[in-house]
Structure 1
Amino acid sequence: MSNDHSQCGSQDPLDQIRSLYTELARRPDKDFGWNKGKENARQLGYMEEWLARLPDVVWESAAAVGNPFSLGPIHPGETVVDLGCGAGADACVAALLVGSKGKVYGFDATPAMVEKAQNNASASGLSQVEFREADMIHLGLPDAVADVIISNGAINLALDKPKVFAEVFRVLRGNGRFQFADMLREHGATSACCSGNSWADCVSGTMGAEEIKILLHEAGFEDVQLVEFTGYKTSSATVGATFKARKP
């Protein structure tokens, strides 16, 4: 699928994204047309101890489309990067897993989400997590700093997926793991709906599963797998799925 967004409405996709996710940060009780919150996380297999340990406010703006933590363990003392971290729920879970000797970096392009994520980490008593406003293709981290990179429903929002995967590859250490959930264009759908806020709603920027796997291989990853479909929907033409890959 082309990353050309000229046919996806008159509003720039980045403006769509910042507008919608600012509203999600500030009005988590609003019905946006897709699942979010603690119960959605529970349905996706998030552990009860995480749901209980982190305050409810951490989960209220979390629109998880899958569970990246189901794809492999995260160990105490590791460094984790969360791409498109939103209000920080996954980053806070990762902080619980890496412990006080580990480090978590969360990146998001929407200032209101970064601010909320910082507040959520403070409310959770987690000092080992740091949030920054940044585009996914320019994280500003050194080479080979992360043991694990996670993402949840955010990569489809990027306008240049190959550059995102190249940046992930750069930031991962050798043998580092890339574990992510994202929305896919369903098999047989020639294109996803391109109306209204469909880019920000995780529709217009989706790709097919094989396209994603090809891009991951082209970026240099090995052991690329589509692990499962999650059943999460943002339109009749899209479905959530989880992937994992490894930097050699």
Structure 2
Amino acid sequence: MTTATPDEIRTAVRDRYADAARAASTGDGPTAYTRSLYPEEQRDQLPEQALTASLGCGNPTLLAQLQPGQTVLDLGSGGGIDVLLSARRVGATGKAYGLDMTEEMLELARRNAAEAKVPNVEFLNGQIEAIPLPDASVDVIISNCVINLSADKDAVFAEAFRVLRPGGRLAISDIVLTRALPEPASRVMALWTGCVAGALVADDYRHKLCAAGFTAVELQPTQVFHRDAVREVLADADPGRIPGDIDIEEVTRALAGNVTSSFVRAVKPIA
């Protein structure tokens, strides 16, 4: 039995999203699902490449209830789609940060911000387990199908809690499981980069947020992924990177109906 290390997972994730950024830059990439997540009035505000580069599972900007003057941080900001939308909502007196570890995505996001003529944004190079911002400097944290990609979610939630101001809110879209994955699934790298193998069971998600200090934790499933969606993730896998003892059909059956896209809300209490 072979289990991927955190460094191997991080490298695979970075490679996958670098490829996605390059594809978006040439006008190629998955847009149909993204378009279904963002209403037309939001899509009209965005450069085409911001839509094309998005690999999210929800629309956290609808969840966040942003107000003018707030500071927003997007964990794993990719091509910048949610940062740009958030920046418009917080206005000229607010600020929207995007944090990403993939240089290709950061370059694309900065080009998208320039094309959209949105000045109150800043894209940061770094990891979500070590956010490069001061304590208590952010009002709202958003994220779109990224926290599941981290091999150290306790560090992610601790860092999110640190940089939020008292009363600040976490408002994210993420992949959440209804039950634990079968062991073989954790050894398929395509399920890590496809946002499945690293996902938490709902009760574990709540526990980790509470352990980090958050209150008012809510998880709201918005979509259940069935067999065809799981097969689509596995179809992108390099067969040479799937351990030979794994029965892919058995894994697919175990995942079908177990994987959900969910809204996750939590609050940093006021001391």
Distance 1:27 1:91, change over 3 A: same
Q: Structure 1 residue aligned with 2:36, among 33, 43, 65? A: 43
**CA distance in 1 between partners of 2:189 and 2:7 (Å):** 9
Is 1:126 aligned with 2:122?
no
Task: Read off the aligned partner of 1:99 and give its amino acid letter.
Answer: G
Give the count of matched residue pairs: 238
In the alignment, what sits opposite 1:171? 163
**CA distance in 2 between partners of 1:219 and 1:10 (Å):** 21
Is 1:242 aligned with 2:263?
yes
Structure number with higher helix proportion: 2
Q: Is the 8 A contact 2:28 2:52 kept in 1?
A: no
Deviates more, 1:8-17 or 1:161-170: 8-17
Unaligned regions of 5+ residues in structure 1, if any? Answer: none
1:127 to partner: Cα distance: 0.8
**CA distance in 2 between partners of 1:10 and 1:143 (Å):** 26
Q: Is the 8 A contact 1:144 1:171 kept in 2?
A: yes
Superimposed CA distance per residue, residues 184-214 of structure 1 (whole angstroms, 9 cap, x where no aligned partner): 2333644545324322121221111110110
Unaligned regions of 5+ residues in structure 2, if any? Answer: 231-251
Q: Is the 8 A contact 2:148 2:198 kept in 1?
A: yes
In the alignment, what sits opposite 2:3? 7
1:42 to partner: Cα distance: 3.8
**CA distance in 1 between partners of 2:6 and 2:132 (Å):** 31
Is 1:161 aligned with 2:153?
yes
Is 1:16 aligned with 2:7?
no
Q: Secondary structure at the match of 1:141?
A: coil
**CA distance in 1 between partners of 2:96 and 2:3 (Å):** 37
Q: TM-score, with normalisation over the residues of structure 1?
A: 0.88
**CA distance in 2 between partners of 1:222 and 1:131 (Å):** 28
In the alignment, what sits opposite 1:227? 220
Q: Is the 8 A contact 2:161 2:268 kept in 1?
A: yes
Distance 1:147 1:10, change over 3 A: closer
**CA distance in 2 between partners of 1:10 and 1:50 (Å):** 35
1:224 to partner: Cα distance: 0.1
**CA distance in 2 between partners of 1:112 and 1:118 (Å):** 10
Larger RCO: 1 or 2 (CA < 8 Å, sep 6+): 1
Distance 1:197 1:132, change over 3 A: same
Distance 1:94 1:232, change over 3 A: farther
Distance 1:166 1:115, change over 3 A: same
1:10 to partner: Cα distance: 11
In the alignment, what sits opposite 2:52? 60
Task: Read off the aligned partner of 1:21 and give its amino acid letter.
Answer: Y
Task: Read off the aligned partner of 1:139 and give its amino acid letter.
Answer: I
Q: TM-score, with normalisation over the residues of structure 2?
A: 0.81
Which structure's CA Rg is the greater one? 2
1:92 to partner: Cα distance: 0.7
Runs of 4+ deviating beyond 6 Å? none
